[in-house]
Structure 1
Amino acid sequence: MQDLTMRRRAAALAIPTNDMAVRAHLRYLGEPITLFREREMERRDRLRMIMAKLDADDQLEKLMKALEDEEAATSTPNDEAEDDRQYPFHNEGSNSLLNARIDIAKYSLVRAALRIQRARRRRDDPDEDVNAEMDWTLKQAGNLNLEFSEIGDVRKLTGCSFSRDGKGLATCSLTGATKLWSMPDVKKVSTFKRHTESATDVAYSPVHNNHLATASADWTNDHNNDSATATINWTANYWNDQGSLLRTFKGHSDRLARIAFHPSGKYLGTASDDKTWRLWDVETGEELLLQEGHSREVYSLAFHHDGSLAASCGKDALARVWDLRTKRSLLALEGHVKPIRGISFSPNGYHLATGGEDNTCRIWDLRKNKSLYTIAAHSKLISQVKFEPQEGYFLVTTSSDMTAKVWSGRDFKHVKTLSGHEAIVSSVDVLGDGGYIVTVSHDRTIKLWSSGSTSEHTMDVD
């Protein structure tokens, strides 16, 4: 009862909204102006509770009167101008961003309705046995074996991606080259190199079998026409499978990390060491959104299968979920104690997986804003996580311990360990219903895993 009274008293108090004013009040009251990893709203709530306790002891009015007298004695015309300053809470976006948000909203509403309708049908239809289907898929995953092992480049491989139709595979490496391979025999089809620095990731378009994007550590030195200053931009590229450069996305102020296509195929997301992730129009190359919110480098991002949400993670050990239709940060998922390197949405619509340098993989329930499972997945850092893209029946994690592991999507128990690489497994992709899994590594090899044939081939580097 006393706690409830205190909360009511706190809610009735007028607390400054400006963070500098909040800090000044805390300093005057002899309290720490900030705590470790404390955010602005948390700092304001702390001040509110401190003032509520003082108010309960009949000390608040006297202290606040003394504070006002002190501020009045030391105020200057400049201080008064500072008090009148407007503090904007957002910047107005472009018309292109507005149109993109409308397009994303329309796209995601249709996809969400279809997903819910399908889930209800599968639940109510007596001929549908989801558990049996999952059991069969997990049994197949448990039978995964190495089918092909190919040397992919002369330097470390950093990314891999299956094409939409499953007939192609793309890989990239620290040489800056992107290579295309046929499936399922993993024969090299073409090589193209436009990046002058290392390529950090590659992703096939979800709607075009012959279009893909690459991220890199490349940068351009762009001089402004009206001044002698120059702007350094790090770039991502959009290609066709013939190696023709279709679009360049430049604007980041530091090297790029992971990239991901929006499920509509119209937009590309890029994560960067400049502490932001950005959304680009694939057709025009225009930067639609520069999203801040992380205090350290952003390592990876993923899009919800409905297309409504994006999730990002990075060196600040924080995963954030964003509403693409409003730009709002919906959830801040805290639990990892070291940087988060991989993130993936489940096709079921409400599970999110994160993998970090604390060697754990966490499964989050977005409906409850809580961590459901903490998997002690590997003995070293986790480099990437990926759900099986059709139903989310299993999850794959890759690690510096030179293995990839498969986990059940039902209870997230261990299903299979994929061993064979001789260095960090840097990237993974899962094809269609999980029939094939590809991993690439700093040992320069591509490994294709299948529950079918176990034949193994090798090939020479260019």
Structure 2
Amino acid sequence: MSDDEDIQLVKKSKQVHYGSLEEQERARLAALAAAAKEGGDEVEEKEVGEIHISNEYMELEDEMSKDKKALLEEFERRRKARQLNVSTDDDEVRRSLRQLGEPQCLFGEGPAERRVRLRDLLSYLGEDAIHKKMEEEEARIERDRGREGTWYHEGPTQLREARLWIAKYSLPRAKERLAYAREQMATAGSVRAAAKQDSQRRASAMSIYCSQIGDTRPLSFCRFSSDSKMLITASWSGMVKVWSVPGCVPLHTLRGHTHNVSAAVFRPDTTTPQYFLDKIEASEKAGKDQEPMEVTSEQPSEACTMASCAYDGTVHLWNFKSDEPMASLEGHSPHRVARVEFHPSGKFLGACVFDHSWRLWDLESGVEVLHQEGHGKPVYCIAFQCDGSLAATGGFDSFGRVWDLRTGRCVMFLEGHLGNILGVDWAPNGYTLATAAADNTARLWDLRKRANLYTLPAHTHLLSDVRYQRSNGHFLTTASYDGTARLWSSPAWHPLHTLSGHDNKVMTSGTP
């Protein structure tokens, strides 16, 4: 093959050179716009729709200025944080964190890290953030205190009538009490001291006069009558019995409860009827080992003389004429009624219920005139002041309250016990109050000062009851589960005597 045959000629492709497309694009867009105005076909409309036309623009300078501003603020915050003075006391740092609403400690955090965290928080919130938080907390507490104030709701007509009646009853008695107190103060101090010493000396010489088995089950409560010639006892067997004093002759047995009886009390003006006096005399003549002879004297009246309560919520009213209850006060069941107490007038009866309330009943009409709440746990004990204007209650919330029956206000809050309050009693002077609790102590309170006067570390076990001497209040009695009862002088509060002899818990006490 020759050289000419080996050479292959390459055909050069034709190059097409285009000019600017701007004029053509303008023409096309103009044609499309004209077609859209004239109602052109759908294909051309779709082509127009596919073109994204927007007037929104991103201001890059604004975004950059925001980032720059945030960065400058962060640098300024760090500079302030370095200048903040934070205490090096870890306890103070913890308190500051708590005031700011932050956790006192994080996992694995030490005092140094905690201090740095507090400094960073203050750099965000400001140096006076803790002070502001404290002011806000004080303002909130003040607002809550205003909301938690005493509030009232409309009561029945009987309650208003009862309050007016109690006011009219108590004011003259208070006047007499104050007049008697002035007379006593006018008496020579040596005479008053001699009378008190004589009373306390007789209390110190107190000893067991007689002993009697009251029931087959534990006795839960006992009280003397106003003339100190009768004693009423309540038992877990459901029986209530009346005994003569001091001979312990059984006078009356009350049957009606089917559960443990919590308490039984005499009406304030109850005295020993002639029928019982004749029965006691006949028993003494026949001898203690024989059954008492039948007596023919007139039977007692049918007026209410006693009240009792039980674990099943029943409250019965009794008289000396029958061994069956003359009436029952309904409305407590199924809650336990721990104590009942007569108002000094005998017209009303107070009942402590385990539904965290206490009730006041009008015995003449048989109507519950007051259902008083206020305790956080079951109410266990109640006592009325000698004038009849105040009532003191104690409960399982370890607090006591003094209520003004004429207005319904809680006039004093008894705070200090560390256990359930199981007993409460008023002194004859009308302004001293004693409470007994499960913290093994008895506390003395002064209504005038609204303060705790003295705390008696009285026993080695819980105190079940406390009672003042009813005539002058020269001494008080405490009962305890340590098996003893003790006498204490008033107002020196030194021990006078220990009454021992019980083989088990002393569940109540009484003073004639």
Q: Structure 1-normalised TM-score?
A: 0.71
More moved, 162-171 vs 294-303: 162-171
Matched, 1:150 2:203: no
Q: Against the structure 1 CA distance between its residues 139 and 251, is the aligned structure 2 distance closer, same or farther, given a 3 Å change threshold?
A: same
Residue ranges of structure 1 left out of the alignment (5+ in a row) = 1-26, 33-52, 65-86, 219-233, 432-462
Matched, 1:217 2:279: no
Q: Against the structure 1 CA distance between its residues 59 and 197, is the aligned structure 2 distance closer, same or farther, given a 3 Å change threshold?
A: closer
1:158-207 deviation line (CA, Å, top 9, x unaligned)? 11111222222111100111111112201111212100111110100001
Letter in 1 for 2:407: T
Tell me, what secondary structure is at the counterpart of 1:430? coil
Matched, 1:245 2:339: no
* Distance in 2 (alpha carbons) for counterparts of 1:307 and 1:55: 51
Give the corresponding residue for 2:165. 103
Q: Against the structure 1 CA distance between its residues 274 and 122, is the aligned structure 2 distance closer, same or farther, given a 3 Å change threshold?
A: same
* Distance in 1 (alpha carbons) for counterparts of 2:343 and 2:316: 16
Question: Which structure shows the bigger proportion of residues in helix conformation?
Answer: 2
1:388-440 deviation line (CA, Å, top 9, x unaligned)? 11111110000000000000012111000000001111111111xxxxxxxxx
Letter in 2 for 1:357: A
Q: Against the structure 1 CA distance between its residues 30 and 416, is the aligned structure 2 distance closer, same or farther, given a 3 Å change threshold?
A: same
Q: 1:133 aligns with which of 187, 195, 219?
A: 195
Give the corresponding residue for 2:257. 195
The question of whether the paired residues in 2 share the 8 Å contact of 1:267 and 1:279 is answered with yes
Q: Against the structure 1 CA distance between its residues 88 and 149, is the aligned structure 2 distance closer, same or farther, given a 3 Å change threshold?
A: closer
Letter in 2 for 1:313: G
The question of whether the paired residues in 2 share the 8 Å contact of 1:385 and 1:395 is answered with yes
The question of whether the paired residues in 1 share the 8 Å contact of 2:150 and 2:409 is answered with no
The question of whether the paired residues in 1 share the 8 Å contact of 2:170 and 2:387 is answered with yes
Letter in 1 for 2:471: Q
Give the corresponding residue for 2:82. none
Letter in 1 for 2:307: A
Q: 1:183 aligns with which of 224, 245, 257?
A: 245
Matched, 1:162 2:191: no
Which protein, 1 or 2, shows the higher relative CO under an 8 Å CA cutoff with sep ≥ 6? 1
The question of whether the paired residues in 2 share the 8 Å contact of 1:247 and 1:282 is answered with no
Give the corresponding residue for 1:427. 508
Matched, 1:392 2:473: yes
Question: Which structure shows the bigger proportion of residues in strand conformation?
Answer: 1
Which residues in structure 2 correspond to 1:249-328 (within 5 Å)?
A: 249-253=329-333, 254-328=335-409
1:126 positional shift:
4.3
Tell me, what secondary structure is at the counterpart of 1:164? coil
Tell me, what secondary structure is at the counterpart of 1:264? coil
Letter in 1 for 2:394: C
Give the corresponding residue for 1:226. none
1:209 positional shift:
2.9
Letter in 2 for 1:183: V
Letter in 2 for 1:298: V
Give the corresponding residue for 2:125. none
Tell me, what secondary structure is at the counterpart of 1:117? helix
Q: Against the structure 1 CA distance between its residues 127 and 393, is the aligned structure 2 distance closer, same or farther, given a 3 Å change threshold?
A: closer
Matched, 1:367 2:448: yes
1:74-94 deviation line (CA, Å, top 9, x unaligned)? xxxxxxxxxxxxx99322111
Q: Against the structure 1 CA distance between its residues 113 and 60, is the aligned structure 2 distance closer, same or farther, given a 3 Å change threshold?
A: closer
* Distance in 1 (alpha carbons) for counterparts of 2:129 and 2:309: 55
Give the corresponding residue for 1:358. 439
Letter in 2 for 1:92: E
* Distance in 2 (alpha carbons) for counterparts of 1:121 and 1:60: 53
* Distance in 2 (alpha carbons) for counterparts of 1:325 and 1:246: 29
1:13-57 deviation line (CA, Å, top 9, x unaligned)? xxxxxxxxxxxxxx998499xxxxxxxxxxxxxxxxxxxx96965
1:344 positional shift:
0.6
Q: 1:236 aligns with which of 294, 311, 315?
A: 315
Letter in 1 for 2:372: Q
The question of whether the paired residues in 2 share the 8 Å contact of 1:108 and 1:306 is answered with yes
Q: Against the structure 1 CA distance between its residues 101 and 376, is the aligned structure 2 distance closer, same or farther, given a 3 Å change threshold?
A: same
* Distance in 1 (alpha carbons) for counterparts of 2:499 and 2:388: 31
* Distance in 1 (alpha carbons) for counterparts of 2:320 and 2:204: 33
* Distance in 1 (alpha carbons) for counterparts of 2:248 and 2:135: 73
1:431-461 deviation line (CA, Å, top 9, x unaligned)? 1xxxxxxxxxxxxxxxxxxxxxxxxxxxxxx
* Distance in 1 (alpha carbons) for counterparts of 2:129 and 2:397: 35
1:108-147 deviation line (CA, Å, top 9, x unaligned)? 1111100110110111134982211111000000000000
Q: 2:423 aligns with which of 322, 342, 346?
A: 342
* Distance in 1 (alpha carbons) for counterparts of 2:493 and 2:384: 21
* Distance in 2 (alpha carbons) for counterparts of 1:345 and 1:147: 27
Q: Structure 2-normalised TM-score?
A: 0.64
Tell me, what secondary structure is at the counterpart of 2:329? strand
1:154 positional shift:
0.3
More moved, 235-244 vs 354-363: 235-244
Letter in 1 for 2:220: T
The question of whether the paired residues in 2 share the 8 Å contact of 1:173 and 1:199 is answered with yes
Letter in 2 for 1:238: L
* Distance in 2 (alpha carbons) for counterparts of 1:411 and 1:127: 16
Tell me, what secondary structure is at the counterpart of 2:424? strand
* Distance in 1 (alpha carbons) for counterparts of 2:470 and 2:390: 16
The question of whether the paired residues in 2 share the 8 Å contact of 1:404 and 1:419 is answered with yes
1:246 positional shift:
2.4
Which residues in structure 2 correspond to 1:9-158 (within 5 Å)?
A: 30=101, 57=132, 89-126=151-188, 129-158=191-220
* Distance in 1 (alpha carbons) for counterparts of 2:497 and 2:153: 48
Tell me, what secondary structure is at the counterpart of 1:134? helix
Q: CA RMSD in A?
A: 2.5
